[in-house]
Amino acid sequence: MKHIVWIASGAAAALVAAGAITYAVADGDDSAAKVPAADSADAGFARDMAVHHQQAVEMSYIVRDRTDDEDVRRLAYDIAQTQANQRGMMIGWLDLWALPKVSSDAPMTWMGMGDMASGKDGSLMPGMATNTELEKLGKLSGKEAEIFYLQLMTDHHKGGIHMARGCVSKCTVGVEKKLAQGMVAGQESEIQLMTGMLKERGATPR
């Protein structure tokens, strides 16, 4: 329970940080004032991570309806709120930059890894669950739903961390790089938490 409280506190901090970042962009921060190109890493990361985050939000709300376990429900709610907030920021930046929210390029092209985005069964980027897996999660309940969600979200976070590190390396907008760095730290911490929760349920990451 202590871990869950810590994560929830982290979400509150993330919301405060989000407000500061949004303010920096709106206030004309030097690093944010430079509008990136449509094919830049900054734009590509914002577009791709917005899609990646949306699935995490979806999975989190699915599992909240499939279990009564308070720890899993709190974690799922925290992930959903944090990633929905971050997604809104990234879409907001694209609007601010007057850039399209979709691209004809394959996902992760901005990382030089467009060939990894097979899109097979709805899994558009590494770590994303397939349509079949999402359907399965929606049919499970109790402990089985908890384990499958924790496994799916661990994979999801690993893929997200890979993309966020790509932004830290390639993005040029300062506030976006800071957001990506925060994603890496936050999701690595949640992976550790979820590994422990899986162990408590007699399971391991996939």
pLDDT at position 34 is 79
For residues 111 and 181, what is the distance between their CA atoms, to the nearest angstrom? 16
For residues 78 and 85, what is the distance between their CA atoms, to the nearest angstrom? 11
Question: What predicted TM-score, i.e. pTM, was given to this entire model?
Answer: 0.84
| In the chain, domain spans | 2-200
Q: Which amino acid is at 96?
A: L
- Write the pLDDT tens digit of every residue in 73-88: 999 999 999 999 999 9
pLDDT at position 116 is 75
* Longest CA pairwise span in the chain (Å): 51
Per CATH, the homologous superfamily of domain 2-200 is Ferritin, core subunit, four-helix bundle (1.20.1260.10)
For residues 106 and 5, what is the distance between their CA atoms, to the nearest angstrom? 38
DSSP notation for 10-58? HHHHHHHHHHHHHHHHHTT-HHHHSPPPTTSHHHHHHHHHHHHHHHHHH
